[in-house]
């Protein structure tokens, strides 16, 4: 891979932090690398831009999710671009990082890896990752936490219909700390993204819990 | 420029929205392009990554500011990465956008263009720009406004010492609307980034105005 044009043209990648909530903890999908460099190490799913195939680096990221981990989702968000001469031994490289949120109930069916072993790891304890992917993961988690702290609701992490208790547990998983229930409920009143599902309840321990869904056209 | 390797390797650029306040309006530095593509058109200062020179795309952006518009500043911030096959006629391209904030009193001395005509334009009315730079500019201004709405202070836009009235006018220029003075002053009490300069006052119309400065190590 050490062609002379490496001096002129950097490698351009898209990497994706695919985040979900499992066991009430925020988790990230990791793929074990099958080939050098960093063969055998765990990394965020990622791959090289293919100009003949991709209309944008977002397309690159979506193609990689489909091809490498069989995840087909419409909504991903750009986080930050990492770059430099030493972060990948193949040469000067640029990685555009995206994150994607996925409800865990869609994950078991979707994840059927084609080329590599995959696993879910707690974002708080992902282990050693290839390249600078620990920094990439921290950046993606920080961006998500920042949005939730600014009162955005991470509805893409939830199943299609959910209770307010499930929503609160998901926000707590993202932030890594408990939230006050009454303050959380007050905050929710202002949200137009949150829609009651008429006549749909889940029987709770004390009383039936109303079910909610994201509004049409909701974007996180 | 239409080499076969264009199919494999995209062009990678850094572009910079250099923002300042002039005439109480938020303005952006534009450079008229001397060469094709888009010769004669106004654009954000930008240029191609040089892997042999640059340690990161931030380095690319800082080098371009120094070389193209003679601006040497330490603090720039990454906004977003734009990409696609048609945004630059030379081929599939990636542009990493940064913004930089500069007090206007440092600008007259600094801007002495080496290769191109430059001008300050109101961000609200920049005219037609080359490539997709109108979208880039809107993205940079949106990111800055978002930070100020979230109560960050754009102290890098101010001279070294400033009054609270000047700070308010600068925030108003960024947001493009007036702010309530007493609410603004209440907000400021919480800021550790804002330091009184002991014994320094500016004689105002009614009474002397205290001068302030950014704290050491302030980062926007």
Whether A29 shows a pLDDT value over 80: the answer reads yes
Residues B124 and B27 reside in one and the same domain:
yes
Taking each helix axis from N to C terminus, what angle separates A133-149 and A164-175, rounded to the nearest 10 degrees? 140
pLDDT at B109: 46
Residues A83 and A105 reside in one and the same domain:
yes
Chain B interface test: which of A10, A88, A149 (most B C-beta within 10 Å): A10
Name the more confident of B192 and A114.
Answer: B192
**A210 touches B: beta carbon within 8 Å:** no
Residue B107 pLDDT class (50, 70, 90 cuts): low
Residue of chain B minimizing CA distance to A54: B84
Q: Which of A7-16, A27-36, A166-175, B103-112 has the lowest mean pLDDT?
A: B103-112
Asked whether residue B36 is domain-assigned, the answer is: yes
Name the more confident of B205 and A124.
Answer: A124
Q: Which two tokens stand for residue B38?
A: 């888009």
CA-CA distance, A56 to A117, in Å (whole number)?
27
Whether A96 shows a pLDDT value over 90: the answer reads yes
pLDDT at A109: 46
Residues B114-173 have pLDDT tens digits of 555 889 999 999 999 999 999 999 999 999 999 999 888 999 999 999 999 999 999 999
Inter-chain CB proximity A84 and B8 less than 8 Å:
no
Which residue, of B100, B115, B149, is where some domain finishes? Answer: B149
**A199 touches B: beta carbon within 8 Å:** no
Chain mean pLDDT for chain B:
88
Residues B194 and B95 reside in one and the same domain:
no
Query: Percentages helix, strand, coil for chain A, rounded to the nearest 5?
Result: 30, 30, 40
Other beta carbons less than 10 A from residue B117's beta carbon:
12
Residue pair A102/A120 in contact by the 8 Å Cβ criterion = no
Residues A136-151 have pLDDT tens digits of 999 999 999 999 998 8
Residues B133 and B162 reside in one and the same domain:
no
Which residue, of A149, A174, A202, is where some domain finishes? Answer: A149
**A7 touches B: beta carbon within 8 Å:** yes
Residues A44 and A63 reside in one and the same domain:
yes
Inter-chain CB proximity A81 and B78 less than 8 Å:
yes
Residue of chain B minimizing CA distance to A9: B9
CA-CA distance, A157 to A105, in Å (whole number)?
9
Residue pair B40/B33 in contact by the 8 Å Cβ criterion = yes
Residue B12: list chain A partners with CB under 8 A: 9-10, 12, 94
Asked whether residue B27 is domain-assigned, the answer is: yes
Asked whether residue B174 is domain-assigned, the answer is: yes
Residues A187-200 have pLDDT tens digits of 898 888 899 998 87
pLDDT at A121: 95
Size of interface A-B (CB pairs under 8 A): 70
Residue A107 pLDDT class (50, 70, 90 cuts): low
**B18 touches A: beta carbon within 8 Å:** no
Residue A114 pLDDT class (50, 70, 90 cuts): low
Residues A122 and A19 reside in one and the same domain:
yes
Domain count, chain B: 2
Other beta carbons less than 10 A from residue B177's beta carbon:
8
Q: Which two tokens stand for residue B191?
A: 């800021």
Map tokens 């005219």 to a residue: B127
CA-CA distance, A42 to A60, in Å (whole number)?
20
Backbone dihedral region for residue B38 (phi beyond 0: left; psi -120 to 50: alpha; all else: beta): left
- Residue B63 to chain A, least CA–CA distance (Å): 15
Residue A5: list chain B partners with CB under 8 A: 5, 9
**B150 touches A: beta carbon within 8 Å:** yes
CA-CA distance, A212 to A200, in Å (whole number)?
8
Residues A138 and A195 reside in one and the same domain:
no
- Dump strand ranges (E) for chain B: 11-22, 25-32, 42-43, 46-48, 76-84, 93-101, 118-122, 194-202, 209-214
**CA proximity to A157, closest of A203, A94, A99:** A99
Note down the domain range covering A203.
155-214
Residues A38 and A136 reside in one and the same domain:
yes
DSSP code of A129? B
**B12 touches A: beta carbon within 8 Å:** yes
Residue A219 pLDDT class (50, 70, 90 cuts): confident
Other beta carbons less than 10 A from residue A84's beta carbon:
19
Residues B108 and B177 reside in one and the same domain:
no
Domain containing residue A198: CATH number: 1.10.10.10
**B51 touches A: beta carbon within 8 Å:** yes
Asked whether residue A219 is domain-assigned, the answer is: no
Which residue, of A149, A166, A200, is where some domain finishes? Answer: A149
pLDDT at B154: 93
- Buried b / exposed e over A179-208, threshold 16 CB at 10 Å, is eeeeebeeebeebebbeeeeeeeeeeeeee
Asked whether residue A66 is domain-assigned, the answer is: yes
**CA proximity to A82, closest of A8, A146, A133, A7:** A133
Q: Kindly provide the ipTM of the predicted complex, given to two decimals.
A: 0.89
- Residue A18 to chain B, least CA–CA distance (Å): 19
- Residue B204 to chain A, least CA–CA distance (Å): 38
**The pTM is what?**
0.90
- Please tell me which of A45-49, A201-205, B149-153 the model is most confident about, judged by mean pLDDT: A45-49
**CA proximity to A106, closest of A160, A45, A168:** A160
In this complex, the residue of B6, B94, B150 whose CB is nearest that of residue A94 is B94
CA-CA distance, B12 to A218, in Å (whole number)?
33
**A142 touches B: beta carbon within 8 Å:** no
pLDDT at B124: 96
């Amino acid at each position: 891979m050490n062609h002379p044009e490496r001096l002129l043209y950097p490698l351009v990648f898209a990497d994706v932090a695919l985040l979900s909530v499992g066991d009430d903890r925020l988790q990230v999908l990791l793929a074990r690398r099958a080939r050098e460099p960093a063969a055998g190490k765990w990394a965020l799913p990622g791959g090289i831009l293919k100009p003949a195939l991709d209309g944008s680096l977002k397309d690159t990221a979506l193609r990689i999710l489909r091809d490498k981990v069989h995840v087909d989702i419409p909504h991903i968000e750009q986080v930050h671009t990492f770059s430099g001469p030493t972060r990948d031994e193949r040469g000067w490289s640029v990685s555009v990082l995206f994150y994607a949120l996925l409800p865990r109930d869609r994950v078991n069916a979707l994840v059927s890896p084609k080329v590599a072993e995959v696993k879910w790891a707690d974002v708080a304890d992902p282990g050693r990752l290839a390249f600078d992917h620990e920094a990439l993961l921290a950046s993606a988690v920080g961006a998500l936490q920042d949005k939730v702290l600014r009162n955005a609701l991470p509805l893409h992490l939830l199943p299609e219909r959910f209770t307010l208790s499930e929503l609160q547990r998901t926000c707590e998983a993202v932030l890594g700390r408990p939230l006050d229930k009454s303050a959380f409920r007050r905050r929710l009143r202002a949200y137009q993204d949150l829609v009651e599902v008429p006549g749909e309840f889940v029987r709770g321990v004390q009383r039936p819990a109303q079910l909610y869904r994201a509004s049409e056209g909701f974007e996180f």
